[in-house]
Amino acid sequence: MKAQMFVITLVFLVGLVFVVLQSLVSDVQPDLSKPLGENDYYVMKNIKDVVNKTLQFSETCSDAEKNLGELVSKLNREILQGGYLVYIEYILDCSNWNNQPPNPPPLITTIKVTSKFSELTGTFEFYK
């Protein structure tokens, strides 16, 4: 009789420890969405910098159109390292090619960066 009570008590205590551990593990798991969301910002910033450099290194508007087309085509169909999907739309207005702020920009770009945890979209104006 004493051995049976010992086994029952032991099973109860093991079950109690298991329940307590499960509740602690679920409360301790880190929230990864915030740090990865900050990485989305850096991915977008890097893409924005590449678009700006592409515009700056283009001598004419037709060169810029060709170079931007190649860049956007490549980025829109690739998954970047780290699992990011990138989608870029742009409007290049050659009549504004030599404009400076506050005049209309020659290039307006919408960049969308999507990861497993978040999505970030921004619209940017670029001047030559």
The gap between the terminal CA atoms of the chain, to the nearest Å, is 90
pLDDT for the residue 32: 47
Q: State how far the alpha carbon of 42 is from the alpha carbons of 47, 79, 80, 86, 99, in Å.
A: 9, 16, 13, 13, 28
pTM: 0.68
Give the span between the Cα atoms of 32 and 69, in whole angstroms.
34
pLDDT for the residue 97: 94
Task: Give the domain ranges of the chain.
Answer: 33-126
Q: State how far the alpha carbon of 119 is from the alpha carbons of 11, 31, 112, in Å.
A: 47, 16, 7
Give the span between the Cα atoms of 80 and 115, in whole angstroms.
10
Residue pair 85/58 in contact by the 8 Å Cβ criterion? no
Counting other chains too, the contacts that 71-78 makes at CB distance below 8 Å and 24 or more residues apart are 75/47
Output the tens digit of pLDDT for each of the chain's 128 residues: 777 887 888 888 888 887 777 776 655 555 444 554 567 788 889 899 999 999 999 999 999 999 999 988 888 777 666 678 888 999 999 999 999 999 999 999 999 988 877 888 999 999 98
